[in-house]
Amino acid sequence: MITLIGTVGAGSYWLGSQSRSAVPSSAEASQESPSATAPKPRKLLYYRNPMGLADTSPVPKKDPMGMDYIPVYEGEDEATPNAGPGAAGQVRISTEKIQKLGVRTEPAGMRLLGKTIRAAGRIEPDERRTFAVTAKFEGYVERLHVSATGQPVAKGQPLFEAYSPELVSAQREYAIALQGLEAMKEAGSEAQAGMRQLADSSLARLRNWDLSAPQVAALMKSGQPQRTISFPSPVTGIVSEKKALQGMRFMPGELLYQVTDLSAVWVIADVAERDIALIKTGAKARVMTTAYPTEGFEGRVTYVYPTLKAETRSIPVRVELANPGQRLKPAMFAQVELGVGGKSPVLAVPDSAVIDSGTRRIVLVQVGEGRFEPREVELGARAENYVEVLNGVRDGEQVVVAANFLIDAESNLKAAVGGLGGHAGHGSPAAGGAAPGTPAKPEIPVPPAAVGHKAEGTVDSVDTTNGTLSLNHGPVATLKWPAMTMEFKAANASLLSRLKPGQAVRFEFVERQPGDFVVTSIAPTGAVPKVAPQAKPAAPAASAGKSTLSGH
């Protein structure tokens, strides 16, 4: 028993010691794990211009506007491995930089493109509701019942009374014809027919002179002609024009009154020429006026005029709307909103996603995490904040709608840095051969679209401090230059590191600005090239430095 207890105690002590020894190991592992998994510090390559200009610096600096240059780290401007076709033209930006730039994307999708066209207009009376009051005979205004312009009148209300000798004679002829017809009841049929024909012709004459049916009935009943007749209003409305005066003489066809019905009015809107193709008859319209700024009036487009106003490059469009209470007055100014839109969905993107250079239109498509691909697109109809894409983008693809100009500037910057001679290593300060920690001279950016020129010659002198070299070169066919000695700028310091005076070289240069020539690549040829005989200096087109024509 004692032996068994001792054995158990020894085993418990051994297990306890093993557990205590295992605790420090776990603690040590937990202390070592952060250092083992800590990310490696990124290598700083250079600092770039914050506005996207092709300007870099090996040390922190500010641009002329006081903005700090943005650091560029190793791997940020490298192509993504296995990116697939088209990766060469893609732009890769780190997640941190995407957040700083405020990049925002939105999927391209099918939608109905609705648009509101706004145009200035004016209230006008409905031409079909305007009536003129005239007389078909000569006469005199005997009495006025409506004596003021703008006075409201009801349909059938007397406007004025007129006296006409011709009208009185016509009434007497008709009365005599009626009396003769009555007296010839016992006469033969032929005599009665002749008298009836005379009475009918007299009645037709009175009716042609607009004698009303009640007036004709009164004449037939009394047999006595009326000295004056009244002219009623043809419609309920207002007197928009009054030319009749008390006692005036009028001639047949002369305008005496004009009555307008304003229960419905027109709005003539001047629509811009660029929008007229979208206007369709029957489209709804909303009319706003200065008199009632908080109230809108609904109407419909009833006619698009076939003529254009050359002075304003606009086309009149007629909108008809009801005018209860005659609140809308003719000649009022109005703002017209016309809702137009397509009948079927089309592929569209926000208009902020399109970068329009004037000659082509670009959309940045997000093809992966931090990777953007510029696409040239063909655009169609435009609507409120959206534009139709006919070609270049597929449904569901994410397009950049915010900070796309900054990404485009980033793309242009990398294209420019990539064309700086090919030896700078993305603008690394160490690429120029300088010792670590020694600031290298900033590279001279060369636009990627510049045209290169090739030539051969010998090195005359090298100035590494100012980054220039003097070359005694032969003729340049692309510029029609003769042989001369002139000074060039070097695209980067690495181009000057191994050059010596008298060395035969083959080089390539571009014109960065008018008269500013920059060497982008240079290499020894192994033999001194032929140089044309030296002549008197002739001022060449270049002005980047001193130059002399070479020869003997």
| DSSP states of 388-429 | EEEES--TT-EEEEESHHHHHHHHHHHHHHHTSTT-STTT-G
Pairing of strands 361-368, 371-376: antiparallel
471 in a structural domain: yes
Which pLDDT belongs to residue 539?
A: 39
- 401 and 501 in a single domain? The answer is no
Q: Where a domain ends, among 417, 438, 460?
A: 417
pLDDT digit string, tens, across residues 220-270: 777 778 888 889 999 999 999 999 999 999 999 999 999 999 999 999 999
93 in a structural domain: yes
- 433 and 540 in a single domain? The answer is yes
Question: Higher model confidence: residue 355 or residue 72?
Answer: 355
**Residue range of the domain that includes 368:** 87-113+345-417
* pTM (two decimals): 0.48
Which pLDDT belongs to residue 415?
A: 54
Q: How far is CA 289 from CA 186, 268, 275, 339, in A?
A: 74, 13, 22, 18
Question: Whole-number mean pLDDT of the chain?
Answer: 77
Question: Higher model confidence: residue 472 or residue 191?
Answer: 472
Confidence of residue 408 (pLDDT cuts 50, 70, 90): low
Confidence of residue 140 (pLDDT cuts 50, 70, 90): very high
Which pLDDT belongs to residue 76?
A: 58
Confidence of residue 549 (pLDDT cuts 50, 70, 90): very low
- Tell me the three state secondary structure of residue 287: strand
Confidence of residue 40 (pLDDT cuts 50, 70, 90): low
Which pLDDT belongs to residue 526?
A: 62
Which pLDDT belongs to residue 98?
A: 79
- 364 and 439 in a single domain? The answer is no
Q: Where a domain ends, among 353, 384, 417?
A: 417
- 407 and 447 in a single domain? The answer is no
- 537 and 439 in a single domain? The answer is yes
- 468 and 496 in a single domain? The answer is yes
- 488 and 533 in a single domain? The answer is yes
Which pLDDT belongs to residue 39?
A: 60
Which pLDDT belongs to residue 240?
A: 93
- 508 and 401 in a single domain? The answer is no
- 454 and 501 in a single domain? The answer is yes
- Residue 424 clears pLDDT 60, i.e. is over it: no
Q: Which tokens belong to 235?
A: 């419609």
**Number of other residues whose CB lies within 10 A of the CB of residue 541:** 11
Report how far residue 233's alpha carbon sits from residue 156's, in angstroms, rounded to the nearest whole number.
5
The C-alpha torsion from 336 through 342 and 345 to 349, rounded to 10°, is: -60
- 447 and 534 in a single domain? The answer is yes
Name the domain count of the chain: 3
- Residue 96 clears pLDDT 90, i.e. is over it: no
273 in a structural domain: no
- Residue 541 clears pLDDT 50, i.e. is over it: no
- 401 and 448 in a single domain? The answer is no
CATH of the domain at 462: 2.40.50.320
Report how far residue 491's alpha carbon sits from residue 59's, in angstroms, rounded to the nearest whole number.
18
Q: What is the 3-state secondary structure (H, E, C) of 221-249?
A: HHCCCCCEEEEECCCCEEEEEECCCCCCE
380 in a structural domain: yes
- 448 and 408 in a single domain? The answer is no
Least-confidence region, from 19-23, 194-198, 362-366: 19-23
Report how far residue 255's alpha carbon sits from residue 133's, in angstroms, rounded to the nearest whole number.
6
Question: Higher model confidence: residue 13 or residue 147?
Answer: 147
165 in a structural domain: no
Question: Higher model confidence: residue 163 or residue 226?
Answer: 163
